[in-house]
Amino acid sequence: MKILVTGAAGYIGSHTVLELLEAGHDVVAVDNLCNSSRESLRRVEALTGRSVPFVEADIRDESAMRAVLTGAPGRAGPDAAGDVAESPESAGATVPAGDFEAVIHFAGLKAVGESTEQPLAYYENNVGGTIALLRAMDAAGVRRMIFSSSATVYGDPVAVPIPETAPVGSPSNPYGYSKLMIEQILRDLAAADPRWSVALLRYFNPVGAHPSGRIGEDPRGIPNNLVPFISQVAVGRREALSVFGDDYPTPDGTGVRDYIHVVDLARGHLAALGHTKPNCRIWNLGTGRGYSVYEAVAAFEKASGQKIPVRVAPRRPGDIATCYADPTRARDELGWQAEHDLDAMMRDAWNWQQQNPDGYGEQ
Ligand code: NAD
Ligand code: UFG
């Protein structure tokens, strides 16, 4: 299949591009590099021995997206001027014309805390950007989308494990609402026009890195998420991990999450590509097992041989006690299930961090 991947240079995007190429798909990558480095896709090219045509563009630019989807070289209309730049590296692999069968849509802003400070930026980028992309897809006749949603749409769940039929809750931040809004837009679109095929993938907590250690998660600034923070403590970039609350109603008092290896998550997208009926469907991508913060720290210490200093801090606003998936539907309908355990996730997170203590750096 020929697939357009938005947000392709990012953490989950780069791992998914790699899996797509290895499965024999053709990929065109789009990213505005606002939270990623061009280097990730260069490394994917090196790992797979295949080229990834790369278009530096913003998904909010509808005419730029139309140009990519129809294969028009560089730009579609005057308003796209300056917004589409094929990277020099892709000059030998110019964006091949049209014929896309699907779009895997990762592009978006994802920092929960930042979204409460800059709600407009989040709604504009995530919701506005997705609408522009959908309009471009419609115009180009490409009506299959796989969308990166999040377990955050469940809010504080009434019960765990969480099936797709659980009520969506009230996310505690604009980021979460942007995901809920996009889900609704995609549901409405699929209901209005049966030619659309939409997969809503609700990710639980993606962690780890490709086993090669060549690609991985490279957060800017102080990491918000647990595993990147632990990894930076392990290489000496941070002093100690703050454990956000040890008084939750969980076995050891710390928050419980469903951590999923990013390679398993990436493969979930390949599985979803094969599914077309019904024309809008939700799948959880999680392992079905929850681990506490202390269990995650212990697994990282075992994988790395490093002691991780921790100190208990107050609860982080908006956090919930426990969240893990019921992944049965993805197993039954997509034939997909997570294969890597927590030890493998931490081993690969550590391998990446050790090989790239400063991430991709200023490449
Ligand atoms: P990431 O920030 O590494 O990747 C997102 C990519 O999108 C980045 O490369 C960024 O430069 C690009 N981007 C952002 N806005 C853009 C725009 N307007 N035009 C073009 N490119 C743009 O994040 P990730 O962890 O790889 O997440 C990918 C997707 O999965 C996001 O939509 C995120 O919300 C969703 N998700 C992530 C998690 C998680 O914990 N990582 C959990 C649930 C859902
Ligand atoms: N935690 C700490 N210290 C840290 C970071 C995290 O104790 O420095 C704890 C949190 O309190 C939580 C657990 O580790 O109990 C996991 O926290 P993360 O920030 O790694 O992940 P979240 O579950 O809070 O959030 C993730 C994604 C969101 C997404 C959400 C949906 O980052 O984008 O999952 O489930 F919305």
Residue to substitute in 19, 30, 34 for testing ligand 1 pocket (most ligand atoms within 8 angstroms of CB)? 34
Q: Is 226 in the pocket of ligand 2 (CB under 6 A)?
A: yes
Ligand 2 mutation target, pool 182, 204, 205, most atoms within 8 A of CB: 205
Instruction: Give the least confident one: 57-61, 77-81, 117-121, 171-175.
Output: 77-81
Per-residue pLDDT, 92: 39
219 alpha carbon – ligand 1 mean position (Å) = 11
- Positions annotated as catalytic residues are 175
pLDDT in tens, 298-321: 999 999 999 999 999 999 999 999
Ligand at minimal distance from the CA of 61 is 1
Spatial distance between the Cα atoms of 348 and 73, rounded to a whole number of angstroms: 39
Taking 70 as the threshold, does the pLDDT of residue 87 lie above it?
Answer: no
Q: How far is the CA of 340 from the centre of ligand 2 (A)?
A: 20
How far, in Å, is the centroid of ligand 1 from the Cα of 13?
8
Nearest ligand 1 atom to the CA of 225 is 40
Which of 116, 243, 257 is the pocket-test mutation for ligand 2 (most atoms within 8 Å of CB)?
257
Ligand 2 in reach of 308 Cβ (< 6 A):
no
The pLDDT > 70 percentage for the chain reads: 93
* 182 phi-psi bin (left φ>0, alpha ψ -120 to 50, beta other): alpha
Q: Distances in Å between the alpha carbon of 51 and those of 43, 45, 131, 191, 269?
A: 10, 5, 29, 37, 20
The closest residue, in CA terms, to atom 17 on ligand 1 is 58
Q: Does the beta carbon of 75 lie inside 6 Å of ligand 1? A: no
Q: What's the pLDDT at 276?
A: 81
The whole-number pLDDT of residue 235 equals: 92
Largest CA distance in the chain: 59
Distance 148 CA to ligand 1 centre (A): 8
* Residue nearest ligand 2's atom 24 by CA: 319
Q: Is the pLDDT of residue 77 over 50?
A: no
Label the pairing between strands 26-31 and 102-105: unpaired
DSSP 316-333: PTT--SEE-B--HHIIII
Q: How far is the CA of 331 from the centre of ligand 2 (A)?
A: 25
* Ligand 2 atom with minimal separation from the 175 CA: 36
Q: Which amino acid is at 353?
A: Q
Nearest CA to ligand 2 atom 11: 244
**Residue 20 above 60 pLDDT?**
yes
pTM: 0.95
How many Å apart are CA 305 and CA 307, to the nearest integer? 7
Q: What is the 3-state secondary structure (H, E, C) of 151-206?
A: HHHHCCCCCCCECCCCCCCCCCCHHHHHHHHHHHHHHHHHHHCCCCEEEEEEECEE
Q: Which uninterrupted H or E stretch holds 292? A: strand 291-292
Contact 128, 121 (CB under 8 A): no
* Spatial CA neighbour of 48 closest among 67, 29, 65: 29
* Average pLDDT score over residue span 318-333: 97
